[in-house]
Structure 1
Amino acid sequence: MADIVDIAVSAGSFQTLVVAVQTAGLVDALKSPGPFTVFAPNDEAFAKLPDGTVASLVKSLPQLGRILKYHVVAGKLMKADLAKLGSVTSLEGSPIPLHFSDDTFEVKNSTVIAADIEADNGVIHVIDRVILMG
């Protein structure tokens, strides 16, 4: 198996996220033993942001780091674990609301489109929108 970063790189659908993680200097943290639960927006999720948003975040590393850390939770939480919780606390420190109904698994304002992708140091849940704090 591979770690969270290696899986994101090899998938090919997380190029924007990988560049953001590299720019924010979080690669080593996400390659550490963890474990972590990552709500990973794919490239299509980043494309839904208003024009210029990604470029402005890259220019503001503290804000970029906060947003990226908002997508990460300490511990390896599979979908079944998350279903028992109403929210989780991000590494950024803010709560992330979770919602389950029928076949839908939502993380704040996004829908999980692929759950339980296991990595050596945690688990990835692919989401269809970048989740913003606040």
Structure 2
Amino acid sequence: MEQRRWDDDERFTGVGDGSAMLPAVHDLAAVMARDGWVTEDPDAHLLPHLRAVPGWRVVGERLGGDGVYEVTARPDEPLEGIDVHRAAIRLLSAIAEPSFFVRQLGPGVFECVTGVMPGDPPGYATHGHLVRLFVT
């Protein structure tokens, strides 16, 4: 199994663990598990913002029964490698709320959780969105 964390990594280990931010991650996971946390009508709440991002064209969208809003988008310019990842995050940032998590699942597939935690400004009730982005 490869130990390198990137192409010229010679250390093979980092400077610490990620526990400093675990409380926020656990808090997000806890509110995500609340019944009714995923907000209704992503076509109204999310789609206009995604369509307004320069350099992207939304070519499909649908809300799954599990509350995941699946969006298929195509960049106007060809992208490869890390550029796809960074461009996808820029697109998803158009719908970012105070809590924002993105994970790449595979080539051109990204999952995003974005939402409002209790006490976040501007004081709305906790709610959020689940998005699975397919980049074509």
With normalisation by structure 2, the TM-score equals: 0.25
Judging by fraction of residues, say which structure has more helix.
1
Which structure would you say has the larger RCO, counting Cα contacts within 8 Å and 6 or more residues apart? Answer: 1
Q: TM-score, normalised by structure 1?
A: 0.25
